[in-house]
Chains A and B, each alone.
Chain A
Amino acid sequence: MNSIRSVARFAGAGFLAAILGATCLIASAQTAPQPTRTDAEKDPVLKAMLTELDRSMSRLQLKDFQKPFFIQYRIEEIDGFETKAEFGATSSSRRNHGSLARVTVRVGDYKTDSSGVRSDGAVQLTTTDDDPIALRSALWTATDQAYKSALAAYAQKQAALKQVQTPPQADDFSKETPVISLAQPLKLMVDEQAWEARVARDSGLYRTDASVKDSRRDVQYSLGSFTARVTTTWLVTSEGTIVRKSAAGYEESSAVSAQAADGMRLDLSHASVGVSLNDLDTPEVFEKHTLKLIASLADLRKAPLVEEEYHGPVLLSSGAGVHIINSLLASGVTATRPRMGTEARTNGTFASSYHARVLPEFLDVVDDPSLKSYNGKGLVGAYDVDDEGVPAQAVKLVVAGQLENYLIGREPVRDFPQSNGHGRAGLAAAPSPAIGVLQVTAKNGLTDEELNSKLLALAKDRGLKNVYYVGTLGGKLTPRLLYRVSPDGKRELVRGAELGDLDQRALRSGVVAAGKQLWVANYFSEVPETVLAPALLIDDVTIRRANKKNDKLPFYPPPE
C-alpha cells in the first residue's frame, strides 16, 4: 500500500504544466461583496470539506480523551506540465494532475497544544473528481490518523514540559480572525507540443547555430526544460476560515556545461520565470540568452585560473546580490518556535538580533506578498492569503539597517503573538514561515556606472593591482562569471574561484554601496518566492582558488 501511495504522491507532485494564456491571477475576493459560507458551499470541494469538518468537530473523540479544539483541512490540486530536452531532442514530457489532502488536528488549547514535530498532521491522496464521498473519505482517514497522533503528542508534550524549568516563551497557537476568501481557480492551458519543440530546439542550439559552431564539440551537456504549474488550494478551519486560492507559475530554463582543459567542470544556466506566459522571455530573447551561455562557456574554458588569494572590495551585480540576500538574509528573518526549555525568541542567524543592526543604515527590507508585479513582471512569491488561512501582510523587516520584525505564521514567539500571514507550505507539507516577496532597497542607490567608479576608486585608494566583479553566482555562493578588474576598468573573465568571508557580518558592516536598480529573482520552487535586490559593493571579500576535484577528461572523443 505504501508504494502505491508514494508513487501517486510523487506523480501528483511532479506534474507541472505549460500554459497558454491563463492569466486571471487577480483574486476576485477583494472587489466582490464579502463571500459567505453559503457561497463557499456552492463549491463541491469546499462543501465536502465543511461537511466532514463539522462531523469531526462534533463527533471525533476517543473515550476518556479530549476532543480536538482545532482542525484544519487543506486540499491542493496540482495541474502541471513539464518537458525536458537534451542535445536538441525531447528527453521527457509529462502532464499530470493530482490532489492531496493535509489534515491538521490539535488537541489541548491555544496556550499548550499537541503541535510539534511528532504531530504535524496527516496527508492523504485525494480525488480530482468532485465526488463528495471520496473527498470526505480521504479527509476522514487522515483526520483519524492525525487525531490519534495528536493525542499521543499532547501526552508526550505534557510530560516534556515537566522536565524543563523555563516555561515556553509564547503560546503554541495564535488566535486569528476567521476569513472567507474565494478566488476563482485558474486553468492550465499550454500548447504542449509547441513547448516540447521550443525546448528541444533551444537544447540543440549548440549544434545548430552558426555563431557558436566552434564550441560544438566542447559542450558536454546541453539541457533545456519548461515547467508550468497551477496549484489550487482549498482550506477550511474549525474556526470558520474558508479559503479557495489558485496560483500559476511558469519557468523556462537552459543549462550548458563543459570541461576546461585541466578537467574543471564549468556550468552555466539561464532561467526565465513568471506567473503567466507573458512574463517569460520571448523565444528570440531566450535563444539569445542560451547562445550567450554557450559563448560564455567557451570564454570560461580559456579563462585563466584565479591563483593568489585576494582580500578587498568586490562588486556584486544585482543578479548576484539577490543570491546573497536570499541565502544570508531570507532564512534568518523567519520566526520559529525555539527549543523547549530555552529562553530564545526564535531560531537561526538572527535569533537574537531583534532591534539590532543587521544591514548598513542605508538599506531597508520589506516582505510584501501583495506586490504582484514589478516593472511589469509578475512575481511568483505574491499571494493574498497564506496556507494557514491568514491574509498576507506587508512586513517591514529591516528599517534603516535595523531588524524590526520577523515573518511569522500561527506559531507565536515571544513578542510576536499573531501571525503576519507568512505561514507558507509546500505541496502537502506543514506550513512554516517563509518569505513571499522580499524587497531590499537602498537610500540614494547608485547606477551601475557609479558603482563601478566607486569600485575603481577603492582600488586606487588602496593601491590594489586589481579588484573583482561578480557577474553571476551559482549554488553555495560560488561565482560562475567572475571578472578581475584592472585599475583602468578593464574586465577579464577568470575561473576556479570561490568567495570567502561572505556572511552576516559582511552584510552588516561590509556593504559600502548599493545599486538603484533591483534585480527580480523569481524562485519557482514548491513554495514560490521572489527576492528583489540591488547590486552590492562589499568592502572586504575573500576570493581564492576553489580547489575542487577535477574530473577526468573524456576517455575518447565525442561523436561527430
Chain B
Amino acid sequence: MTTISFACGRRTANCAGIRAVFAVLALALSMIAGAQQPAAPLLLNAMTTELNRAFTSLGKQGDAKQLPPYFMSYAVSDASAVTIGAQYGALVSKSANHIRVADVQVRLGEPKLDNSHGSHRSSAVNSVTLPLADDREALARSLWLATNAGYGKALESYLRVKTEAEVRAKEEDSSPDFSQEAPQVYLGKPAPPVKIDSSAWEQRVRALSRVFRDYPDVNMNMVLLVVQNETVYFVSSEGSRVVTPHMQARVLVLAMTRADDGMDLFRVQTFEAETAEGLPAQTEMEAAVRNLGNSLEALRKAPVTEPFDGPAILSGRAAAVFFHEVLGHRLEGQRQRGDEEGQTFTKEVGKEVLPTFLSVADDPTLTTFGKIWLNGRYQYDEEGQKAQRVALIEDGVLKTFLMSRLPIASFANSNGHGRAQTGRVPTGRQGNLIVTSTKSVTEAKLRKQLIEEAKKQGKTYGLYFEDISSGFAVTQRRSPQAFEIIPLVVWRVYVDGRPDELVRGVSIVGTPLAAMKRILVTGDKSEVFNGECGAESGTVPVSAVAPAMLVSEMETQKQPQGTARPPILPIPGAEAVAPVKKEAQ
C-alpha cells in the first residue's frame, strides 16, 4: 500500500539521503569530474577512508564463515532544520535541529543473489547517527560500529537467503539482486546551515494562523514553517563519491471544521521554495489561507452527496494526485517482480495503456514548473545514480518503469529513480511525475463537454473535483487492485444551467486501468501537486503535474464519517467577531 500525503515537515534527515552505488571503473571518471570541483569535505574523506578499511578488512580476518562483502556504501545525510508552528493565532512550537545520519549498506554473496534478496531487502542497510563535528576519529568510530552491526545483519540474512534459495521453486522473475552501474563522482557544494530571520517568520506564521479568527467555524488550525537544508554525502566500494545539497522551505497550513452531522472536513495548503526568501509574499499566502477558511465554512454547510457513477472533471491538481496514485506507483520497477505484487503493467511494455493523446514522464531534474517549485526534484538518487528524465508512457504506449538498482526481467539497469528515506533500502520511486496531453481544450470548453457528456448519459449533473487530499493505491496481489482517493472539494455541475453546487462526503473508487482509459480530453493548463509520498522505502518528497481531465465515467461512494458533535461552545473570541464579510467563492 502506498500513500501520497502531506507529511507535515516532520522529516529532519530523511529527505534525500543520496546513496550511490556503482561499477568498479571510477578512476578515469573521477579525474575528469574532479577537475573543476571543490575540495572534498573532511566528512567525505573520513567516510572514504573508513569504507575502504572496512571493505578490505571484513571477511579477511581468518574466519572462513565470514564472507567478504562484494559491495559497500556509506550515505550520510547532514541536515539542519528550523521549524516554527502556530495555532489559533499564536506560536506553539519553535525548534532548530541539526542531525547527521549514516546509512551503511553491506552486500554479501554476489549481485546475482545477495543478502537483500526478496523479503530480506532491509538487511542491506543499517543506520546510525554520526557526530556533528568534523572530527575524523569520532566519525570513524561511529562508522566502524555501524558497519560492524550492518555486516552482522547482512551475514545472518545471507545465510537465510541461501537456504531459502535451495528449498523453493524457481522464481517468476530470476533477475539479479543488484545491477551493474558505472561509479559516479560529483562534488556539489554542501548546503549552508539554515539561516532565517526568526522573529520576522514567527510573526508571519502567527499572522497566517490568526487569519482563521475570522472563521469561527474552523475549530482547529495549524501553520508550520519548515526550512531544511540537507547535504548528502555518498561513497561506495565501487568508487562513487557524491556530494549533493538539497534545500527546501515549506509552509503548510492545515485547517479543520466539523459539520453539524459530525463529518470532519479539512483543507491543506502548502507553499514550497528552495529557501525561505523564495516563498510567496505574505499577502499572497494570507489570501490563500482566507480561501481555505471560506471553503471550510461553505463545505460544512454543503449537502452530503449520494453515490454517483457518471462523467466528471478532475482539476489539474486532482488529476496529478490521481496519476501519482493510480499510475505512478504501478510503474515502480520493483512492483514488477515481487511474488506478492499484482504486476498490473509488467507484461504491458510496448502496449497502449492510456489514451494515445497522453504521455507521462518522471523528471526529477526539473526544479520548477512555471513559477512553482517542485518538491520531487533531486540531482542524484539515494543509490548515487544521476537523476534522469524517464519517458514512462509515450502517446499512450508504456515504454519503461521507474528503476532503482534492483533489476527486473525486462530492464537490467537503474534510471536514477532509486529513492528512500534515511534508514531504508532504495526502490524505484517517483520524483516529478509529469502528464502531458496533445488533446486539450480550454477549461471553459472542458466544462461544456462535461455537461454534454452528462446529458448523453442521461444524468442531471456531472462532478467537478476541485481539490483532493491523500489517497492510497493497493498494488498487492492479495488485495483488490483498487484505489481510493478522498476528494476535499467537489461540485455538482448541473446540465440545466443551475449554479454549481458544492457537496461533501464523496470518495472516488474504482480500478486503475479502466479509469484511465475513460479519459476523453484534457484541459490546456497544468497544475502542480507537491507532497510527500510514503511507501516501502519510506517517505520521499514528490510532485505531480497534470492538466485537468474529463473522464466519461467516475464512480464515487459515500465517505465514512464521524459522528461526534461539533464543539458545544463557540470558539473563544467568536462572540467578539462581527459577522465576517465572506468573499464570494
Contacts and interface: CB of A to CB of B under 8 A. Distances in A.
A56 B571 CA distance: 11
Contact of B131 (A1, A87, A126, A141): A87
Contacts of A88: 131, 135, 137-138
Contacts of B57: 556-557
A91 B145 CA distance: 15
Nearest to B94: A97
A365 B405 CA distance: 66
A125 B222 CA distance: 11
A142 to B, nearest CB: 11
B11 to A, nearest CB: 10
Nearest to A62: B568
B88 A90 contact: no
Given A1-B220, A59-B569, 7 more contacts: A1-B256, A8-B85, A86-B131, A89-B131, A137-B573, A204-B138, A556-B53
- Band of interface residues on A: 35 or more
A4 B224 contact: yes
Q: Which of B87, B94, B222, B572: most chain A CB closer than 10 A?
A: B572
19 contacts: A1-B222, A3-B10, A7-B9, A12-B93, A55-B569, A86-B131, A91-B100, A93-B98, A94-B97, A126-B92, A128-B91, A133-B90, A137-B87, A137-B89, A141-B567, A204-B138, A552-B152, A554-B144, A555-B151
Nearest to B57: A556
B132 interface: yes
Contacts of A61: 568
Contacts of A47: none
A92 B138 contact: no
Contacts of B256: 1
B10 A89 contact: no
Interface in B44-72: 50, 53-54, 57-58, 61, 66
A95 B57 CA distance: 41
Nearest to A88: B138
B275 interface: no
A396 interface: no
Interface of B: 7-10, 50, 53-54, 57-58, 61, 66, 83, 85-100, 129-133, 135, 137-142, 144-145, 148, 151-152, 206, 213, 219-220, 222, 224, 254, 256, 266, 564-565, 567-569, 571-573
B87 A200 contact: no
Contacts of A554: 144, 148
Contact of B572 (A15, A52, A204, A220): A52
Contacts of A207: 137
Contacts of B569: 55-56, 59-60, 140, 144
A209 B266 CA distance: 59
A134 to B, nearest CB: 3
Contacts of A134: 87-90
A416 interface: no
The majority secondary structure among interface residues of chain B is mixed
Interface in A216-264: 220-221
Contact of A90 (B7, B54, B87, B131): B131
Q: Which 10 A-B pairs have the closest CB atoms?
A: A134-B90, A89-B131, A127-B90, A136-B572, A131-B90, A89-B138, A137-B88, A559-B140, A87-B138, A556-B57
Contact of B58 (A138, A220, A221, A556): A556
Given A89-B135, A91-B131, A136-B572, A559 B99 contact: no
Nearest to A219: B141
B140 to A, nearest CB: 4
A200 B152 CA distance: 29
B533 to A, nearest CB: 15
Contacts of A307: none
B100, B138, B144, most chain A CB atoms within 10 A: B138
Contact of A87 (B7, B91, B142): B142
A143 B526 CA distance: 45
B153 to A, nearest CB: 11
A552 B150 CA distance: 13
A131 B89 contact: yes
Given A148-B564, A559-B137, A137 B92 contact: no
A87 B144 CA distance: 12
Contact of A98 (B86, B92, B145, B564): B92
